[in-house]
Amino acid sequence: DTGVSQNPRHKITKRGQNVTFRCDPISEHNRLYWYRQTLGQGPEFLTYFQNEAQLEKSRLLSDRFSAERPKGSFSTLEIQRTEQGDSAMYLCASSLGGQVGSYNSPLHFGNGTRLTVT
């Protein structure tokens, strides 16, 4: 278990640019989540995958945000035409799911990607 890996750790970009973050979950985990956390707030749910299928999306996820998990392994989160309000920590988490008793599996978080939009 090497843990959830997120890259890059930090990203500074200018308003209007596109950015892409990557998440590598724990290898045997079939569920993957993206959350956003701003200062003084708890993580806010963005989207969730089971294998390669994106099953839930938050209304927070505007059209400028897109997430993929093409082979059911790593995932990418892209933000187009970034705005200053997108500045936040983007957290990825993974868990086991789909088996009996797996609904209570805890989330395993990566260390996040901190995005600063100038």
Partner 1 sequence: AQSVAQPEDQVNVAEGNPLTVKCTYSVSGNPYLFWYVQYPNRGLQFLLKYITGDNLVKGSYGFEAEFNKSQTSFHLKKPSALVSDSALYFCAVRDRDGGYQKVTFGIGTKLQVIP
In the complex, the residues that contact partner 1 under the rule CB under 8 A are 4, 6, 31, 33, 35, 40-45, 48, 50, 55-56, 58, 91, 93, 97, 103-104, 106-112, 114
CB of 59 to partner 1, least distance (A): 12
**Cβ contacts of residue 76 below 8 Å, gap of 6+?**
20, 21, 22, 23, 67, 68, 69
CA distance 107 to 16: 32
Nearer Cβ to partner 1 (1/14): 1
CB of 81 to partner 1, least distance (A): 26
